[in-house]
Amino acid sequence: MVVIDSSVRLRVAKNRDVKLDSGLKAKWDTIRSEARIFESEFLSSCYELSVQENYEKLNAFVASTIAQHVPQKLSSSRKNVPWITPKLRCMCRKKQRYNNRAKRSGSAEHWARFKEAKSGTARAL
């Protein structure tokens, strides 16, 4: 018989912040002008390079252009905020179920239930 004695802890994975691009605030005129310049350079040298090298060159241009001209921000998860109690979480799920049901059926009764749940959840939050 084999007996193993170990002390193992469960590691809870933390939600990582997500980097979001704000396309509405991008500098589109600058992006277009740089893309035109890149296009002429790329088309003049693309026949001399392999497909993989062309892909890497294009990919590097797109990544650098986005990094330079599209503002980014970090969005953190709101999953474990301290004011959301199990009761509030239940109310939010119930409101979402009513919304899904109302969208599917289109019934006025279901929309009334959803609106009532929405206002109740908003008051509780």
Which contiguous run of DSSP H or E holds residue 56?
A: helix 51-69
pLDDT at 97 over 70: yes
- DSSP string spanning 68-111? HHS-EEEE---TT-TT--HHHHHHHHHHHHHHHHHHHH--HHHH
Spatial neighbors of 87 by CB under 8 A, at least 6 apart, are: 124
pLDDT of residue 73: 80
- Residue ranges covered by each domain of the chain: 18-75, 86-124
**pLDDT-wise least confident of 51-60, 65-74, 116-125:** 65-74
Separation of first and last alpha carbons in the chain: 56
Predicted structure pTM score: 0.48
What distance in Å separates the CA atoms of residue 3 and residue 11, rounded to the nearest whole number?
24
Q: Which residue has the tokens 């980014």?
A: 72
How much is the average pLDDT of 68-83?
A: 78
What distance in Å separates the CA atoms of residue 124 and residue 119, rounded to the nearest whole number?
9
Does residue 54 or residue 16 have the better pLDDT?
A: 54
How much is the average pLDDT of 92-105?
A: 94
What backbone torsions phi and psi does residue 7 show, to the nearest 5 degrees? Answer: -120, 105
Q: How confident is the model at residue 118 (pLDDT cuts 50, 70, 90)?
A: very high
